[in-house]
């Protein structure tokens, strides 16, 4: 019965920013991106500390004229990540539907 209730709750909040609590008491926030009979799929924000370890900071990069670094368009412009590639802001998390204990919708700013 609980499994069906959690499935319906996830389905009604598809593509919403939610706070999920697991059976072990841990919780996280993320966006529900998919759902099937056994699993729920989330896009979970990556912390700034994790992002800074994966990619160098923007202060380490320089913009060289219109074409940026190396003469290629888009390279070196602020906000476009490392050498023109967008920074990753979310990671995918797949959980068994039975592991969810509670789900709350969070405001999206």
Q: What are the average pLDDT values for consecutive 10-residue runs of the chain, which has 109 residues?
A: 85 95 94 94 78 47 49 53 65 94 87
What does the pLDDT read at residue 87?
66
Q: Are residues 2 and 35 in the same domain?
A: yes
pTM (2 d.p.): 0.64
Please give the tally of structural domains in the chain: 2
Q: Are residues 6 and 39 in the same domain?
A: yes
Query: What whole-number distance in Å separates Cα of residue 27 and Cα of residue 42?
Result: 13
Q: Are residues 100 and 76 in the same domain?
A: no
What count of Cα atoms within 13 Å lies in the side-chain half-sphere of residue 88? 14
What does the pLDDT read at residue 89?
87
Q: Are residues 8 and 42 in the same domain?
A: yes
What does the pLDDT read at residue 18?
95
What does the pLDDT read at residue 75?
52
Residue 25's domain spans which residues? 1-46+90-109
SS3 45: strand
Q: Are residues 107 and 83 in the same domain?
A: no
Query: What whole-number distance in Å separates Cα of residue 62 and Cα of residue 51?
Result: 19
């Amino acid at each position: 019965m609980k499994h069906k209730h959690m499935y319906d709750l996830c389905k009604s909040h598809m593509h919403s920013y939610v706070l999920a609590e697991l059976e072990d008491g841990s919780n996280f926030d993320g966006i529900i991106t998919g759902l099937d009979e056994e699993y729920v799929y989330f896009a979970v924000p990556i912390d700034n500390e994790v992002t800074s370890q994966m990619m160098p900071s923007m202060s380490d990069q320089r913009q060289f004229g219109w074409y940026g670094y190396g003469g290629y368009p888009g390279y070196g412009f602020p906000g476009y990540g490392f050498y023109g590639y967008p920074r990753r802001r979310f990671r995918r998390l797949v959980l068994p539907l039975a592991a969810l204990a509670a789900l709350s919708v969070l405001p999206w700013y």
